[in-house]
Amino acid sequence: MGRKRIEPGKVRLTEVAALAGVSPITVSRFFRNPATVSAGRRTRIESAAKELGYVPNLAARALASQRTEVIGVLIPSLTNNVFSDVLRGIYDAFEGSRYSIQLANTRYSVLQEERLLRLFLMQKPAGLIVTGLDQTAESRSIIQAADCPVVQIMELGADPIDMMIGFSHVDACFAAISHLLAQGCRRIGFIGARMDPRVQRRLQGYQNAMKEAGLFDPRLIVTAPVPTSTTMGGSLFSDLLMKAPDLDAVFCANDDLALGVLFECQRRHIAVPEQVAIVGFNDMEFMAAAVPTLTSVRTNRYEMGRRAATMIMDAVEGRPVAERVVDLGFEVIERQSSTLQRAAASPQPASGRASGTKW
């Protein structure tokens, strides 16, 4: 009964301790915080560990210490470049730290999100980064059970679970539409695909702006539940032209769609911005390279990921987190695709933060 005896080749803390002539617990301390061990033993342990090729066993550490250095990250899509920028920020911030990232993809499904959170729970994560505000009640209770710092990213809302970093999609879109209005556009279309919660809120910002200007017309809105793509941008724009042939501008819920609209305009020989102005969202790199250059709403995705990660680390390590809700704002980058002479208004840059003016 019991279990087989220890196999000989194995290198444990104990083996290192024996070679260094100290107790196992001292080796343990050395690996967690070398400063707590006297200089003499420090060098002895270090060389013993190197000689034996010792590799700490994370599972044993986690079990004994009742905690892990795992940070769970939930994002809705791996395809959407928006999230690759956020992820880059997160990975860069955790680089060199003792934390490791557990990434999972909800595919824009709140039920997936629940399932994945339940999986995270088994790992007893040290922290969680989740996307958006629209967690189910069940998800929220799982997060509570995880009993660790949490940052919600991508947007801002009234009822944070714990910490939050993002910007207002409603305000950002409102600002973009206001820019088009200032350029003299009146028949401004909206095209969007996939229609996740953030795109929905951009649509809300569009509606607010158009209604406020007395220009709202439901025929100007074309959306599709499918994933976004450049090709989809072209076909949604074609649909929009059928519904509203007198269109003079299009706001695209993201930049891929905007690129598709630009190509469709080229195909149909529609002059941009003279006949139709184009505005995108996210300010991907290619927007500045297009002909004409494409206006977009810049959002600081990399910074969002980076700061979310540092907020988590601060919270995990017990440092006070000064701003528990961070508004990163946005900026409407005005380029050729929406710059018109017909406008009377001066083209002052519109940008937005929670503090200060509305946008």
Partner DNA sequence: CAACCGCGTGATAGCGCTGTCAATATCGCT
Partner DNA sequence: AGCGATATTGACAGCGCTATCACGCGGTTG
Q: Does 31 bind a second copy (CB under 8 A)?
A: no
102 or 208: whose CB is closer to a second copy?
Answer: 102
Q: Does 79 bind DNA (CB under 7 A)?
A: no
Q: Does 3 bind DNA (CB under 7 A)?
A: yes
**What kind and span of H or E run contains 170?**
helix 169-182
Question: Residue 208 and residue 151: Cα distance in Å, rounded?
Answer: 29
Amino acid at residue number 154: M
Site stretch for a second copy (CB under 8 A), options 99-107, 130-138, 208-216, 344-352: 99-107
Looking at residues 132 to 191 of the shown chain, list those that interact with a second copy (rule: CB under 8 A).
145
* Axis-axis angle for helices 230-243, 255-268 (nearest 10): 60
Among residues 38, 47, 79, 136, the one that binds a second copy under rule CB under 8 A:
79
Q: Please report how close the Cβ of residue 64 comes to DNA at its closest, in angstroms.
A: 3
Residue 351's binding partner among a second copy, DNA, none (Cβ under 5 to 8 angstroms by kind) is none
Q: Does 243 bind a second copy (CB under 8 A)?
A: no
Query: CB pairs under 8 A, 24+ apart, for 136-141?
Result: 136/110, 136/111, 138/114, 139/110, 139/113, 139/114
Q: Please report how close the Cβ of residue 70 comes to DNA at its closest, in angstroms.
A: 15
59 or 158: whose CB is closer to DNA?
Answer: 59
Give the residues across from 71 on adjacent strands: 101, 127
Q: Please report how close the Cβ of residue 264 comes to a second copy at its closest, in angstroms.
A: 8
Question: Residue 76 and residue 141: Cα distance in Å, rounded?
Answer: 20
β-sheet with 163-167: strand ranges across? 100-105, 70-75, 127-131, 150-155, 163-167, 325-327
Q: Torsion over CA of 133, 135, 136 and 137, rounded to 10 degrees? A: -80
Site stretch for a second copy (CB under 8 A), options 22-30, 55-63, 150-158, 329-337: 55-63
Q: Does 109 bind a second copy (CB under 8 A)?
A: no
Q: Does 12 bind DNA (CB under 7 A)?
A: yes
Query: CB pairs under 8 A, 24+ apart, for 283-288?
Result: 283/255, 283/333, 284/81, 284/255, 284/256, 286/255, 286/259, 287/255, 287/258, 287/259, 287/333, 287/335, 288/335
Among residues 15, 23, 29, 103, the one that binds a second copy under rule CB under 8 A:
103
Question: Residue 276 and residue 295: Cα distance in Å, rounded?
Answer: 13
Q: Please report how close the Cβ of residue 18 comes to DNA at its closest, in angstroms.
A: 11
Among residues 12, 29, 88, 187, the one that binds a second copy under rule CB under 8 A:
88
Question: For the window 26-65, what string marks contact with DNA as x by the rule CB under 7 A?
Answer: x-xx-xx---xxx-xx--------------xx--xx-xxx
Q: Enumerate binding residues for DNA (CB under 7 A).
A: 1-6, 10, 12-14, 22-26, 28-29, 31-32, 36-38, 40-41, 56-57, 60-61, 63-66
